[in-house]
């Protein structure tokens, strides 16, 4: 067995690298999706000679995934196997950008200034302490006059003590006067250092937590070589914001001003990158859901014990009567990043996006639409009509979900959340209340004083008058929505008395919902009489 193993080891080819080269990468472009991003890096290094070598790319973020990584080599080099290392990493040079080098020099100069200011303050404090100590010593001298001392000697001794005490006090006072500007200079030096350190920290920098990509390659010879690396990250996104501007002047129109917020938390700063925004959503479901056969059956009525089993939870029911359905696979989803023919937005200038600390706001080209503008009135719920814009998204690209500010004739009237509006889809957007068109829904009294609702044990009647009044100075196309009950039982009869007749019944397939459409001139009023009677047999209860 050992002989066989030795023979296999002798005849098996393993990659052998002549040299190991360490290099960093430069992010050159980023494609950001509504969730996730594709990052493209360029790695430039020196190949020492022809043959097989190992390249260690030492600055990939810690969360880099190898599954969707792609390598492309320039002329003169071919790449082989590659792997990611997240542990036992080789040391790397902390190379700084020119901006970081300048900021670091500013920090070092501020540190030197702080040390000098601190020395001046320390020297001033030392002078004060020395003068104070001298004055304290002189004050402590006491006792009897020396033997044989004359009056002149005592006068001289007292004079010396006084002069020295005065000199110490003056020196302490001068030191304190010099200390005040020195302390002010120290405070300014401390602030300058803090500002310099903050400026240095704010500059784009490489990730502190990183992983290393090991790439085997063969070079045609010595010289400068380039490898392009693409990989995908999840911690990046962009989301749209809209300013929707509606006007009826000059034929009316809708302008959709678009901007986006781009953010990323990949663990590294993006500095001077070429940015593309894609409306593709590779992180979402990319395949249609699957339907499975739905078996139904009938059986004889069961005793109460089994009847209770029918009322068990869904999971328990699957175990009792439908065990075959429990193993259904989940809907298929995929995370492959394929831009295909989806719409992308390329920003014309290089951008910087710091990791986790900022949202970059960019503008997109505005879109134009020719909407149908009308006033929508729901008298049973509202006291005024609302302005509606109905339009088709003819831009050729989808409008992604996002927040929108609503402007009508240049005035901010509200905000809304837009859902996904695919290209070619017709949609309606409300643009705030139209106070000049007032609404009411009244029930006229009968002769007996009763209101418009009349009920017996097997009959219910209601009569309502809808009033729509235009108090403004311009005509509006109006759409009024109201409802009557409907029945799917033969024994429950519903008869309506409506004047004028609605333009549309069962609006959008909703039974009992009806609409009247008409033009309402300035100062005009429209009334609609809406009545119904429901009848059912004796002994039955209306629900």
pLDDT tens for each residue of 66-90: 777 888 888 888 888 877 766 555 5
Q: Which of 7-21, 306-320, 426-440 has the lowest mean pLDDT?
A: 306-320
Let me know if residue 436 belongs to a domain: no
Let me know if residue 120 belongs to a domain: yes
| 236 and 317 Cβ atoms separated by less than 8 Å | no
Q: Which of 140-149, 188-197, 303-312, 488-497 has the lowest mean pLDDT?
A: 303-312
Let me know if residue 121 belongs to a domain: yes
Of 202, 228, 245, which residue sits at a domain end? 202
Q: Which of 192-201, 302-311, 371-380, 437-446 has the lowest mean pLDDT?
A: 302-311
In terms of DSSP bridges, do strands 372-377 and 476-483 run parallel, antiparallel, or are they unpaired?
parallel
Residues 200-204 have a mean pLDDT of 67
| 423 and 396 Cβ atoms separated by less than 8 Å | yes
C-alpha dihedral (209, 210, 211, 212), degrees to nearest 10: -140
DSSP class of 220: S
Sign of CA dihedral 166, 168, 170, 176: negative
For residue 353, give both structure tokens: 């996006």
Query: 422 vs 158, which has greater pLDDT?
Result: 422
Ranges of beta strands (E only) in 324-383 are: 344-346, 351-353, 360-369, 372-377
| 368 and 254 Cβ atoms separated by less than 8 Å | yes
Q: What is the pLDDT of residue 475?
A: 95
In DSSP terms, 227 is beta-bridged to: 43, 73
CA–chain centroid gap for 8, Å, is 56
Q: What is the pLDDT of residue 160?
A: 74
Let me know if residue 451 belongs to a domain: yes
- 12: pLDDT confidence band, cut at 50, 70 and 90? very low
Q: Report how far residue 164's alpha carbon sits from residue 170's, in angstroms, rounded to the nearest whole number.
A: 10
Q: Dihedrals φ, ψ of 190, to 5°?
A: -65, -45
Alpha helices in 203-297 (DSSP H): none
Q: Report how far residue 400's alpha carbon sits from residue 414's, in angstroms, rounded to the nearest whole number.
A: 19
Give the length of the chain: 543
Neighbouring residues of 161: CB distance < 8 A, sequence distance ≥ 6:
138, 141
Q: Give the rounded percent of residues in the chain with a pLDDT score beyond 90.
A: 22
Let me know if residue 178 belongs to a domain: yes
* Closest to 261 measured CA to CA, from 351, 393, 369: 351
Q: Which of 208-212, 316-320, 386-390, 506-510 has the lowest mean pLDDT?
A: 316-320
Residue 528: how many other CB atoms lie within 10 Å: 21
Q: What is the pLDDT of residue 335?
A: 25
Q: Which of 294-298, 433-437, 504-508, 524-528 has the lowest mean pLDDT?
A: 294-298
Let me know if residue 381 belongs to a domain: no
Q: What is the pLDDT of residue 144?
A: 61
Neighbouring residues of 21: CB distance < 8 A, sequence distance ≥ 6:
45, 46, 47, 48, 53, 54, 55, 56
181: left (phi over 0), alpha (psi -120 to 50) or beta: alpha
DSSP class of 267: S
Let me know if residue 188 belongs to a domain: yes
pTM: 0.61
Q: Which domain holds residue 112?
A: 98-142+151-202
Query: 278 vs 359, which has greater pLDDT?
Result: 278
C-alpha dihedral (418, 422, 423, 427), degrees to nearest 10: -50
Neighbouring residues of 489: CB distance < 8 A, sequence distance ≥ 6:
none
Residues 356-368 have a mean pLDDT of 81
Q: Report how far residue 490's alpha carbon sits from residue 495's, in angstroms, rounded to the nearest whole number.
A: 13
Burial of 358 (0-12, 13-18, 19+ CB in 10 A): middle
Q: Is residue 59 predicted with pLDDT exceeding 60?
A: yes
In DSSP terms, 41 is beta-bridged to: 27, 229
Q: Report how far residue 354's alpha carbon sits from residue 272's, in angstroms, rounded to the nearest whole number.
A: 11
Q: Which of 67-81, 337-351, 366-380 has the lowest mean pLDDT?
A: 337-351
SS3 360: strand
Q: What is the pLDDT of residue 94?
A: 59
DSSP class of 292: -
Residues 270-279 have a mean pLDDT of 86
Q: What is the pLDDT of residue 304?
A: 55
Q: Is residue 429 predicted with pLDDT exceeding 70?
A: yes
Query: 488 vs 164, which has greater pLDDT?
Result: 488
- 209: pLDDT confidence band, cut at 50, 70 and 90? low
- 451: pLDDT confidence band, cut at 50, 70 and 90? very low
Q: Is residue 328 predicted with pLDDT exceeding 80?
A: no
Let me know if residue 132 belongs to a domain: yes
CB crowding 467-494: b at 16 or more within 10 Å, else e: ebbbeeeeebebbbbbebeeeeeeebeb
Q: Report how far residue 98's alpha carbon sits from residue 96's, in angstroms, rounded to the nearest whole number.
A: 7
Of 164, 187, 202, which residue sits at a domain end? 202
Burial of 143 (0-12, 13-18, 19+ CB in 10 A): exposed
Residue carrying the six token digits 């309502």: 464
CB crowding 495-519: b at 16 or more within 10 Å, else e: ebebeeebeeeebeeeebbbbbeee
Q: What is the pLDDT of residue 245?
A: 95
Domain count, the chain: 2
Neighbouring residues of 68: CB distance < 8 A, sequence distance ≥ 6:
231, 232, 335, 336, 337
* Closest to 236 measured CA to CA, from 360, 419, 350: 360
**Taking all residues of the chain, what is their mean pLDDT, rounded to a whole number?**
78
Is the bond preceding 500 in cis, omega lying within 30 degrees of 0? yes
Q: Is residue 541 predicted with pLDDT exceeding 60?
A: yes
């Amino acid at each position: 067995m050992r002989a066989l193993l030795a023979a296999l080891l002798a005849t098996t080819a393993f990659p052998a690298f002549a040299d190991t080269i360490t290099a960093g990468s430069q992010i050159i472009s980023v494609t950001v999706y509504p969730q996730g991003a594709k990052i493209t890096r360029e790695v430039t290094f020196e190949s020492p000679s022809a043959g097989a070598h190992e390249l260690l790319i030492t600055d990939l973020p810690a969360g880099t995934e190898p599954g969707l990584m792609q390598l492309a080599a320039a002329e003169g080099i071919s790449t082989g196997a590659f792997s990611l290392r997240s542990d036992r990493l080789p040391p790397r040079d902390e190379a700084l950008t020119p901006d970081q080098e300048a900021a670091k020099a500013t920090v070092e100069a501020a540190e030197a200034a702080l040390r000098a200011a601190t020395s001046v303050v320390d020297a001033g404090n030392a002078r004060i302490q020395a003068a104070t100590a001298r004055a304290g010593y002189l004050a402590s001298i006491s006792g009897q006059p020396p033997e044989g001392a004359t009056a002149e000697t005592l006068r001289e001794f007292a004079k010396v003590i006084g002069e020295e005490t005065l000199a110490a006090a003056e020196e302490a006072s001068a030191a304190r006067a010099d200390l005040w500007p020195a302390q002010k200079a120290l405070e300014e030096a401390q602030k300058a250092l803090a500002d310099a350190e903050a400026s240095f920290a704010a500059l784009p920098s490489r990730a502190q937590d990183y992983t290393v990509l090991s790439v085997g390659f063969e070079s045609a010879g010595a010289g400068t070589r380039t490898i392009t690396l693409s990989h995908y990250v999840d911690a990046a996104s962009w989301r749209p914001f809209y300013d929707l501007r509606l006007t009826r002047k000059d034929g009316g129109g809708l302008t959709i001003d678009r901007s986006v917020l781009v953010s990323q938390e990949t663990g590294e700063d993006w500095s001077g990158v070429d940015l593309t925004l894609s409306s593709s959503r590779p992180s979402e479901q990319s395949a249609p859901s699957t339907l499975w056969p739905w078996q139904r059956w009938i059986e004889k009525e069961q005793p109460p014990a089994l009847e209770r089993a029918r009322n068990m939870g869904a999971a328990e029911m699957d175990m009792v009567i439908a065990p075959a359905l429990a193993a259904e696979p989940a809907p298929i989803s995929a995370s492959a990043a394929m831009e295909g023919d989806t719409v992308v937005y390329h920003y014309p200038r290089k951008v910087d996006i710091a990791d986790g600390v900022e949202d970059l706001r960019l503008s997109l080209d505005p879109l134009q639409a020719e909407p149908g503008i009308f006033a929508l009135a729901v008298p049973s719920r509202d006291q005024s009509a609302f302005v509606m814009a109905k339009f088709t998204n003819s831009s050729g690209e989808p409008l992604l979900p996002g927040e929108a500010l609503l402007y009508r004739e240049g005035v901010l009237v509200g905000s809304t959340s837009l859902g996904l509006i695919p290209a070619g889809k017709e949609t309606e957007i409300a643009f705030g209340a139209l106070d000049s068109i007032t609404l009411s829904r009244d029930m006229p009294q009968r002769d007996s004083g009763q209101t418009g609702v009349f009920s017996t044990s097997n009959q219910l009647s209601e009569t309502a008058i809808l009033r729509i009044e235009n108090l403004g100075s311009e005509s509006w196309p109006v759409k009024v929505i109201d409802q009557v009950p409907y029945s799917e039982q033969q024994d429950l009869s519903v008869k309506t008395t409506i004047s004028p007749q609605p333009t549309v019944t069962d609006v959008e397939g909703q039974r009992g919902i009806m609409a009247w459409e008409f033009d309402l001139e300035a100062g005009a009023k429209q009334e609609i009489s809406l009545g119904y009677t429901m009848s059912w047999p004796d002994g039955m209860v209306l629900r």
